[in-house]
Structure 1
């Protein structure tokens, strides 16, 4: 089945160079959803951080539960848009949302920065820019590292449209002096240029399809709403002080609001980004109309109901009134732009800053992240220096292309956090484990 407004080439499968078989039961994009769902890389996301370590006590989101909610929200937005415009296809958006974080390493942002910094150091002697980036690793997982059912072909054999929608930064890394933004974030490794060229099918420029735009907004909204919910429940984000019921604001609200906005202003200044304090205060007032938190979370049933209601209201606020600007009747995939009211984007960005202010930049988490970065960096160095320690699939990969550092990065990035800690203990001699331990299966 070919979904409406999609061409045959959109449904061509990577590496197989054919359209997905039409069995009358699933469209090509529904096949994409199922292949991602059944991959070992998708399952491993349950053991990777969203913000705090996946083994941390408490009902925190993992990278898997985050991705599941991104997929659900992305599909619902696509369904509403499809009813109005004939696209984008909901299953295609769902697949892209499921895949968007599949390349992320253990320990989230800390693990990613450690892999990148260590690779940058080890690559410097080669004069190479090739390093680690979670989004570029996603393309590598989907097209090379993951396994499907066809012998002799690597990757999940997803459709061209699905892979295209999964690439947030469609370029290779640029030199720092040439383009700082593309040096910091990129979506394609040099080793994966051929796969990327196939995905883009001759398209040039850095435009992304509308399905990626929906995925990106679903990701932002999920981060802003559910991560803030997590840390309100555990007492780390003082929503009751920041967003009290109307008429209940007092000195605590003023002090906490000033503290938070001072943090955001300083952070934006470091990043050389503009900050309008008056506009931020208005955004907080608008957000407060939907939150209105009377007290810290106590764990009572009524509190749980209230949290769920507020989260639902926020999600509705962020996803209501979205629109498409379509350039032509047959151009829904590459000729449409997602229109989101500017104040919704700004409010979403401000909510995300709550997590940075009260959680990510918290000293207790900073000390944890120091340890996480050390684990990841040392595992990368040890795997690079002693390739005989690699598991069988990575040893096979080394035979294919011979790049020891890339293979070592692929290995470390694939580990869950429990696996990374156990392997680090084993290789450092802190805890040797047992001969029968299955570290990678």
Structure 2
């Protein structure tokens, strides 16, 4: 765990988006603060489970939680989408399937890109159990016509096939250890609770209209609820998924028992106290009833399955949709996302076309694996958002900076 904490890739998460840009004014979560809270929640859940079932190991879960987002590029999912689309386009003529995926980049960093204190060894020299727990999608990318889901999400690059085989120690299935399951649930709950809290504070998510105190519901609440459900239904139907509107309305009513918000956030001390109390209550709502189904000799790794009530998972997904409905799909953010994708895509193209632009460490890695597009993607993905903007201005001629600026060396 300490090796993750002291890595340069961990520090860079402070300059990478959780939802809005890391330089945005306001106390928004970054990938770093998000990962810290995932780690805290994951450890607490693991401690409770360990007392009851003898596992999983809390330190192992905490390490996996800290590592889980270390592969994210600048600008979050917008940057990830841009890297993947550009790599797919550049790979198309060669018929190469591999591309960019934040979860696969995590394994790539932990086993190849990051540096520890041992000479001659690449990566952080983590244990099999730690790497396995941090791997969300334990497979390589599949062709679109074979498996659409595994074409969109995967956790292993072809270049890391040998390292992944060592992690799995001969295991050929797609099962994930219980430590990964706890990490994944901690990630979902943290995203749903703390990101919604962020945008309630800034007035973007109208929680007071959606979750008023008991007896205070009226026409405004009903209109806002139906507007939100219209959004979710259209999104789910557009993706070819089923949507039970009555069940969703029931789940919102259940969440209201934990939230119960009297009005918009005003910035007063009592509002901060109330927000913190509601967030704590909501996290408890999602985590208090978790259990393990122990299927092996011990409740660690492949010996157990995390059991979370289906309605809790569905309610968590609904809360995450609040961020999409009221923040991510807003025109103001959509225009920013367009600019972010352009910055990342152009940086990748320029660096791929001119490998001499690579910094020394990426150039060394290119000599090892011989893939200029992977080296360029690793370089762009490693940048903080401020670095990406400054480098884009420099390479585009918009703002040349100084010849004595050695940040790119």
Verify: 1:275 aligned to 2:281, yes or no. Answer: no
Checking the alignment, whether the CA contact within 8 Å between 1:379 and 1:424 is kept in structure 2 is yes
Verify: 1:171 aligned to 2:155, yes or no. Answer: no
1:143-222 matches, cutoff 5 A? 143-222=111-190
SS in 2 for 1:144: helix
Report the TM-score when normalising by structure 2: 0.99
2-structure distance, mates of 1:382, 1:180: 30
Checking the alignment, whether the CA contact within 8 Å between 1:423 and 1:439 is kept in structure 2 is no
SS in 1 for 2:93: helix
Verify: 1:420 aligned to 2:388, yes or no. Answer: yes
SS in 2 for 1:262: helix
Q: Render the CA deviation track for 1:230-272: whole Å, top value 9, x for unaligned.
A: 0000000000110111111111111111110000000001111
Report the TM-score when normalising by structure 1: 0.92
Partner residue of 2:347 out of 373, 376, 379: 379
2:228 aligns to what? 260
Checking the alignment, whether the CA contact within 8 Å between 2:54 and 2:298 is kept in structure 1 is no
Partner residue of 1:142 out of 110, 125, 130: 110
Verify: 1:356 aligned to 2:324, yes or no. Answer: yes
Verify: 1:231 aligned to 2:199, yes or no. Answer: yes
SS in 2 for 1:324: strand
2-structure distance, mates of 1:283, 1:39: 41
Q: Render the CA deviation track for 1:122-172: whole Å, top value 9, x for unaligned.
A: 000110101000000000000000000011110000010000001100000
2:96 aligns to what? 128
Q: Render the CA deviation track for 1:319-358: whole Å, top value 9, x for unaligned.
A: 1010000113236311210000111111101000000000
1:88 aligns to what? 56
**How much does 1:306 deviate?**
0.3
2-structure distance, mates of 1:317, 1:238: 21
2-structure distance, mates of 1:226, 1:144: 32
2-structure distance, mates of 1:85, 1:133: 34
Verify: 1:76 aligned to 2:76, yes or no. Answer: no
Aligned residues: 409
SS in 2 for 1:334: helix
Deviates more, 1:266-275 or 1:62-71: 266-275
Verify: 1:401 aligned to 2:373, yes or no. Answer: no
Unaligned runs of 5+ in 1: 1-32
2-structure distance, mates of 1:59, 1:412: 26
Verify: 1:295 aligned to 2:263, yes or no. Answer: yes
SS in 1 for 2:302: coil
Verify: 1:313 aligned to 2:281, yes or no. Answer: yes
Partner residue of 1:44 out of 6, 12, 16: 12
Checking the alignment, whether the CA contact within 8 Å between 1:105 and 1:111 is kept in structure 2 is yes
SS in 2 for 1:325: strand
Partner residue of 2:298 out of 317, 322, 330: 330
Verify: 1:246 aligned to 2:211, yes or no. Answer: no
Partner residue of 1:111 out of 79, 96, 102: 79
1:24 aligns to what? none
**How much does 1:397 deviate?**
0.8
2-structure distance, mates of 1:327, 1:306: 41
Checking the alignment, whether the CA contact within 8 Å between 1:136 and 1:186 is kept in structure 2 is yes
Deviates more, 1:195-204 or 1:429-438: 429-438
Cα RMSD, aligned residues only: 0.8
2-structure distance, mates of 1:440, 1:251: 56
SS in 2 for 1:337: strand
SS in 2 for 1:436: coil
After the TM superposition, list the runs of 4 or more consecutive aligned residues in structure 1 that deviate by more than 6 angstroms.
none
2-structure distance, mates of 1:310, 1:198: 44
SS in 2 for 1:126: coil
**How much does 1:85 deviate?**
1.1
